[in-house]
Structure 1
Amino acid sequence: MPEVIFPGPEGRLEGRYHPQKDRDAPIAIILHPHPQFGGTMNNRVVYNLHYAFYEIGFTVLRFNFRGVGRSQGEYDQGVGELSDAAAALDYLQSMNTSAKHCWVAGFSFGAWIGMQLLMRRPEITGFVSVAPPANMYDFSFLAPCPASGLIINGSADRVAPPADTLALVNKLHEQKGITITHEVIEGAGHFFEDPHMDRMIETVKAYVRRRLTEKTR
């Protein structure tokens, strides 16, 4: 998988880019957890999400937010990281001008950034939010949520408690015109340690495949 360096708002950003041979392939960006708590694009959840989307047939980009790895800049409370995500999507789109579908997937802090990107980019047609930290961050900007997607979390998550995730899902369920699918991986903690990782990834793959099939009918 080629390493890529692309321009971000505060200098270069480091990523991993995995293209499909099909020029019409859907595209996805994957967003990593909190930079100040060891989050990088090589986090196991992020890495596995990347390959899950690739195996389904997506051209995929994951990258390091500013100040992580070889990405320039420094942590910016989520404001700059949202700009980084927008720059990553711009880069991915510039390389795949024929893509018909565009998805964003994020884990933890990355899920919060991904949902904000969803609000700003109408071309995003689907999302996957893994363990969104609804206890730490305000998700009220999702009014209304512009696309259907999957929210998935572990029942034993102590970082982002399941009750807060459920409250977020219930709030989004009240909106018309979109479908929020909520899946809980029984026994899994925040990082989906084995044996829960495989089940989480298989759940994500089944959901994304189903959505793509519905779109092509």
Structure 2
Amino acid sequence: MPEVIFPGPEGRLEGRYHPQPQKDAPIAIILHPHPQFGGTMNNRVVYNLHYAFHNMGFTVLRFNFRGVGRSQGEYDQGVGELSDAASALDYLQSMNPNAKHCWVAGFSFGAWIGMQLLMRRPEITGFISVAPPANMYDFSFLAPCPSSGLIINGTADRVAPPKDTHTLVNKLHEQKGITITHEEIEGAGHFFEDPHMEEMIGTVDQYVRRRLTENTR
């Protein structure tokens, strides 16, 4: 899979880009967990999400936020990281101008960034939010949430407790015109250690394939 370097707001950003042969393939970006707690684009959840989307026919980009790996800059409390994500989406779109659909998937801190990107970019047609840390970050900016998506978490998550995820999902359910699907993986912790990873990725796969089928009818 080709390594790519593309311009970000604070200098170069490092990514992995996995194209499809079809020029109109849907596109997806995958956002990694918190840079200050060891989060990188090679995190297992991020890596598995990347390949899940590619196997479903998406052209996929995952990348390191500023200050991680070979990406330039330094951690910026989520503000700069949101700008990085916007730059990554710009880059992905510039390489795939004919893409029919655009998705964003994020894990933990990356889920929070992904949901913010959703608010800024109306072209995003679907999202996957894995273990969103609703206990640490304010998600009230999702008013209204502009597109339908999947929120997925583990029942044994001690980093982002399920009760906070339930509160977030219930707030989003009150909004009209979109459908928030909520799935929980029984017994899974924050990082979906085996054997829970396979079940989580399988749930994501089912959801995205169903949405793509609905969109092509």
3-state SS, counterpart of residue 123 of structure 1: coil
Structure 1 residue 10 displacement after superposition? 0.1
Structure 1 residue 180 displacement after superposition? 0.1
Cα shift readout 1:120-156 (whole Å, capped 9, x = no counterpart): 0000000000000000000000000000000000000
In structure 2, what is the equivalent of residue 112 of structure 1?
112
- Displacement over 6 Å in runs of 4+: none
The 2-side partners of 1:61 and 1:206 are apart by 21
Q: Which runs of 5+ in 2 are unaligned?
A: none
Q: What are the equivalent positions in structure 2 for 1:22-171 lying under 5 Å apart? A: 22-171=22-171
In structure 2, what is the equivalent of residue 195 of structure 1?
195
Structure 1 residue 8 displacement after superposition? 0.1
The 2-side partners of 1:100 and 1:201 are apart by 23
| Aligned residue identity for 1:153 | N
| Aligned residue identity for 2:26 | P
Structure 1 residue 74 displacement after superposition? 0.1
Cα shift readout 1:91-119 (whole Å, capped 9, x = no counterpart): 00000000010000000000000000000
| Aligned residue identity for 2:184 | V
Cα shift readout 1:162-189 (whole Å, capped 9, x = no counterpart): 0000000000000000000000000000
3-state SS, counterpart of residue 193 of structure 2: coil
The 2-side partners of 1:15 and 1:194 are apart by 26
| Aligned residue identity for 1:212 | L
Question: Aligned pairs, how many?
Answer: 217
Structure 1 residue 46 displacement after superposition? 0.1
| Aligned residue identity for 2:80 | G
Q: Which runs of 5+ in 1 are unaligned?
A: none
The 2-side partners of 1:187 and 1:181 are apart by 19
The 1-side partners of 2:144 and 2:212 are apart by 23
In structure 1, what is the equivalent of residue 14 of structure 2?
14
Structure 1 residue 61 displacement after superposition? 0.0
| Aligned residue identity for 1:158 | R
| Aligned residue identity for 1:168 | L
The 2-side partners of 1:98 and 1:195 are apart by 38
| Aligned residue identity for 1:97 | P
| Aligned residue identity for 1:11 | G
In structure 2, what is the equivalent of residue 181 of structure 1?
181
The 1-side partners of 2:138 and 2:2 are apart by 35
The 1-side partners of 2:177 and 2:113 are apart by 23
TM-score by length of 1: 1.00
The 2-side partners of 1:207 and 1:166 are apart by 19
3-state SS, counterpart of residue 82 of structure 1: helix
CA RMSD of aligned residues (A): 0.1
In structure 1, what is the equivalent of residue 172 of structure 2?
172
Alignment identity in percent? 90
Structure 1 residue 192 displacement after superposition? 0.1
The 2-side partners of 1:53 and 1:148 are apart by 17
TM-score by length of 2: 1.00
